[in-house]
Amino acid sequence: MLLSIEDLHVSFRLGRGGAEAKRIAAVKGVSFEVPEHTTVALVGESGSGKSVTAMSILNLLPDNAERRGRVQFQGRDLLQASLPELQALRGRQIACVFQEPMTSLNPVFTVGRQIVEPLRRHLGLGRREALAKAEHLLHEVGLPDPRRRLSAYPHELSGGQQQRVMIAMALACEPQLLIADEPTTALDVTVQRQILELLARLKEQHRMSMLFISHDLGVVGEIADQVVVMRHGSVRERGPVETIFKAPQDAYTRALLACRPSLAAPPRRLAMVDDAPAPPPAAPAPARKDPDAPIVLQVSSLAKSFWLRQGWWRKREFRAVRDVSFALRKGHTLGIVGESGSGKSTLGLALLRLHDPASGPVSGSALYRDTDTAQLDLLRLGDAAWQPMRRRLQIVFQNPYASLNPRFTVGQTLVEPMNIHRLGGSGTEREARARSLLVKVGLDESAFDKYPHEFSGGQRQRIAIARCLTLEPEVLVLDEAVSALDVSVQAQVLNLLKDLQDELGLAYLFISHDLAVVRFMADEVLVMKDGEVVERATPDQLLAHPREPYTQRLVASVPRGVAHRLVPA
């Protein structure tokens, strides 16, 4: 047995009280094994203890962490190993790939220098020999022009390329165990597919084992041999991947499988983890929306460019969005999908005029129906006329941790927009409205006096949605609004968005790279590539008969679980 974890407990000490200090238990008696040449997946929501369990193997935990139990690697208990012994193991026999490569790579060192370091430290290679090995590793992980990439800095690479560099670094010393902690969560679905296929191929070539950490059972089903399901620091279920997917025994596992949107015909509502003892049966799909509902936003030939500086005096124009046209109707959802760099987010930000005017020109028109007869071009309104329009069009951003002011209470966050736009007759009325909106988005009124750091990611996203609703908007731009959330929390937010649309008649511009989520939400889908719309259709048409090779690749890249297991070439 390569790795055996027995009755592992991990707690974090709060404050400096020594033995009397308060402790929070993060991992509670976890046990499982990783055989040789096997991929074992740790699955669970944020806070389930899966990453803490994995980081305990090499003690990559804060100083206030306390561990007990047994972590045996090749028969050697790593909990009893000294720091020098662990440092000799790290990168040599056990390597890690983390979720966010940009925070794992040193921004002031070149890619080549960062790959060479473990080769020289652990294998004792000379500089020239280490550089040749680094170039070979970059070629092995599929990075184009590997020799030139050795002199590149991390910020000069895309997210997928950065992750490939991290994998090359991890494999540099040919470890026996690779710990992959959410390695594809932040990536586009097509790049995710490439990284999963790469990991599966490299595992076979190097005959190594892998501990793969994820909250997405669709991804896990394609790559894992064994699955360990965790919740609240404990193991809820473990077994072969086929058994976990086809005959899960624990209600929590069944709920995790049910709450992920699929490419099949969507239910009216997604099941949620707290549904017990098992997720309820899918409700029938809602009645078809009114195709003649009034158009609230008519966009024609929208284009957005950015000025890119070349040298001291010259600059060139980069066209990020080109000739995009669509109509958004009241109560409808228009999905916009594509890879990173396709222009999706730039389109949404351009409509809301959130780009600095000096960044580059905007052309085309975006007509907003102000009354039954009058239309206003949002792109040509003066500042005085645009200010009152801000309340009609609101945006929910991808990262709920960055979009809320940490110094404002939730109440201040909700009341401030109403103060700016002079909504409500008094402070008392505004506070009452803010509290009622918290209840509407599924939070308690007690949240009013708390700060953002006291809430989970899904709760923060609900607060961000409530902030938008304070201004009674007609259009919400949802820019990857659920892509950073666990699948269970994602299901809650998606259900909430559908409920709010039914109740308030909101129109959504739903931007995402996840076709399964767009399938659940959208009435019509635009597929963007290199700033242009390459295909438009209903979700049913798009998924059943994608016309463009680019769309076909997007559809083929969606994780489908154990039925489509990766077979390395």
**pLDDT digit string (tens) for the chain, length 569 residues:** 899 999 999 999 887 766 677 888 999 999 999 999 999 999 988 788 999 999 999 999 998 899 999 999 998 999 999 999 999 899 899 999 887 777 788 999 999 999 999 899 888 899 999 999 999 999 988 888 899 999 999 888 877 788 889 899 888 888 999 999 888 876 778 888 888 888 888 898 889 999 999 888 888 998 999 999 999 999 999 999 999 999 999 989 988 888 888 887 777 888 777 644 444 444 444 556 888 889 999 999 999 999 988 778 888 889 999 999 999 999 999 999 998 888 999 999 999 999 888 899 999 999 998 766 678 999 999 988 898 888 899 999 887 778 899 999 999 999 999 999 988 889 899 999 999 999 988 888 889 999 998 887 778 888 999 999 999 999 999 998 887 777 888 888 899 899 999 988 999 999 998 888 999 999 999 999 999 999 999 999 999 999 999 999 999 888 877 766 765 55
pLDDT at res. 274: 67
Q: Domains in the chain: how many in total?
A: 2
User: Is the alpha carbon torsion for 392, 539, 272, 512 positive or negative?
Assistant: negative
Helix (H) or strand (E) holding 459: helix 457-469
CATH number at residue 353: 3.40.50.300
Report how far apart, in Å, the C-alpha atoms of 435 and of each of 82, 447, 554 are: 53, 8, 41
Task: Let me know how long the chain is.
Answer: 569
Please give the Cα distance from 157 to 75 (Å, whole number).
40
Is position 301 within any domain?
Answer: no
Q: Which residues form the domain of 95? A: 34-62+84-248
> How many alpha carbons lie under 13 Å from residue 125 in its C-beta half-sphere?
18
From 192, 226, 248, the end of a domain falls on 248
> Is 472 part of any domain?
yes
User: What does the pLDDT read at residue 18?
Assistant: 66
- Judge whether 131 lies within some domain: yes
In DSSP terms, which residues pair with 335 in a beta bridge? Answer: 510, 525
Residue 6 identity = E
Picking from 232, 190, 189, 237, the residue whose alpha carbon sits closest to that of residue 41 is 237
**283 lies in a domain?**
no
Amino acid at 213: I
Domain boundary residue, one of 217, 248, 279: 248
Residue 498, domain member (yes or no): yes
What is the Cα–Cα distance from 555 to 544, expressed in whole angstroms? 9
Whether residue 16 lies inside any domain: the answer is: no
Long-range contacts of 151-157 (CB under 8 A, 24+ apart): 151/110, 151/111, 151/112, 152/110, 152/111, 153/107, 153/108, 153/109, 153/110, 153/111, 154/101, 154/102, 154/105, 154/106, 154/107, 154/111, 155/102, 155/107, 157/111
Angle, CA of 173, 176 and 179, to the nearest 5°: 95
**Amino acid 288: pLDDT:** 63
Confirm whether 139 is domain-assigned. yes
Q: Is the pTM of this model over 0.95?
A: no
Give CA–CA dist 356/159, Å, rounded.
Answer: 25
336/240 same-domain check: no
